[in-house]
């Protein structure tokens, strides 16, 4: 394995959160395993396992498991002026902006987004509040879209700016936003969903486009996505923790 790749894996491992520590702790109970993991080779093995795990697919379900009444949560009908007028026009004037640390900023119409490489998946949405619903989602894969815009080498996170203000604040920090790293951005099940259960995503579930990032909890799945920004750091966005709920104490990495 090349030094660069080793360094990348070690770096990737270092940025991953508590999810894997539990598994590592279990392995650490075995003295033989501990010895290997403490060695230089062990560092690579450990980092390799973390990355491999992050790339695994979330479970998918048969159509017969689709929830007849998928719950809606958080904002269910944005009252923000710009959104209200877009909705009144059937989202004909909506554009998906992709900018920030990219070579070629994009502004896509819904027709252009629907022409992008797509994926459908039937998955279970788990909200921290303790409920789950199963739905079918169809949308443009985020990875190929980012490749089209051309990420600059400094890009480390993808930020999703939403149309809704969930909390009214004077400084604008009540606007919903989310962020993910590049491992999740390029995960095959990470899509910008425009269809839910084979029909356009309804307003209560994030029309016209919402993020599906299936390896993480519900609050990471940004609804009402207006703009996707590639950044090297998110400390200047919102209150600096990487998301609306993260700014209010939730974990940034919400793996399931």
Ligand X SMILES: Nc1nc2c(c(=O)[nH]1)N[C@H]1C(S)=C(S)[C@@H](COP(=O)(O)O)O[C@H]1N2
Q: Which among 213, 226, 55 is positioned nearest to 119, based on CA atoms?
A: 213
- What is the rounded CA–CA span in Å between residue 60 and residue 214? 10
Q: How many residues belong to the site for Mo ion (CB under 5 A)?
A: 3
Nearer to Mo ion, 27 or 127 (CB): 127
Q: Please, what is the minimum distance in Å from the beta carbon of residue 40 to ligand X?
A: 41
The entry of ligand X, Mo ion, none near residue 222 (CB within 5 to 8 angstroms by kind) is ligand X
Q: Is 170 exposed, middle or buried (0-12, 13-18, 19+ CB in 10 A)?
A: exposed
Nearer to ligand X, 167 or 232 (CB): 167
Strands laid side by side in the 175-181 sheet: 106-108, 96-100, 225-231, 157-165, 175-181
**Alpha helices, DSSP H only, in 18-134?**
19-28, 31-38, 40-55, 81-88, 110-114
Provide the 3-class DSSP secondary structure of residue 29: coil
The entry of Mo ion, ligand X, none near residue 224 (CB within 5 to 8 angstroms by kind) is ligand X
218 belongs to the binding site for Mo ion (CB under 5 A): yes
Q: Please, what is the minimum distance in Å from the beta carbon of residue 126 to ligand X?
A: 8
- What is the rounded CA–CA span in Å between residue 243 and residue 219? 9
48 belongs to the binding site for ligand X (CB under 6 A): no
Nearer to ligand X, 93 or 167 (CB): 167
Residues that bind ligand X (CB under 6 A): 71-75, 125, 127, 162, 164, 166, 176, 205-206, 218-219, 221-224
Residues that bind Mo ion (CB under 5 A): 127, 218-219
């Amino acid at each position: 394995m090349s030094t660069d790749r080793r360094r990348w894996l070690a770096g990737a491992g270092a940025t991953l959160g508590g999810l894997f520590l539990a598994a590592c702790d279990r392995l650490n109970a075995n003295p033989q395993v501990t010895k290997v993991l403490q060695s230089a080779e062990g560092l690579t093995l450990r980092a390799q396992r973390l990355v491999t795990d992050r790339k695994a697919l979330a479970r998918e379900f048969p159509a017969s498991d689709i929830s007849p009444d998928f719950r809606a949560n958080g904002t269910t009908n944005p009252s923000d002026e710009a959104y209200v007028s877009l909705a009144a026009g059937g989202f004909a004037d909506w554009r998906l902006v992709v900018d920030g640390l990219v070579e070629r900023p994009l502004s896509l119409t819904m027709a252009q987004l629907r022409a992008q490489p797509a994926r459908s998946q039937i998955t279970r949405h788990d909200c921290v509040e303790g409920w789950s619903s199963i739905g079918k989602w169809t949308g443009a894969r985020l990875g190929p879209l980012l490749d089209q815009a051309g990420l600059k080498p400094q890009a480390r996170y993808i930020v999703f700016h939403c149309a809704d203000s969930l909390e009214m604040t004077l400084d604008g920090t009540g606007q919903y936003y989310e962020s993910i790293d590049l491992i999740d951005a390029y995960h095959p099940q990470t899509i910008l969903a425009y269809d839910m259960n084979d029909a356009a995503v309804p307003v209560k579930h994030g029309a016209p486009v919402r993020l599906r990032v299936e390896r993480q909890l519900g609050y990471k799945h940004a609804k009402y996505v207006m703009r996707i920004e590639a950044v090297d750091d998110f400390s200047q966005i919102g209150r600096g923790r990487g998301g609306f709920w993260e700014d209010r104490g939730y974990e940034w990495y919400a793996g399931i």
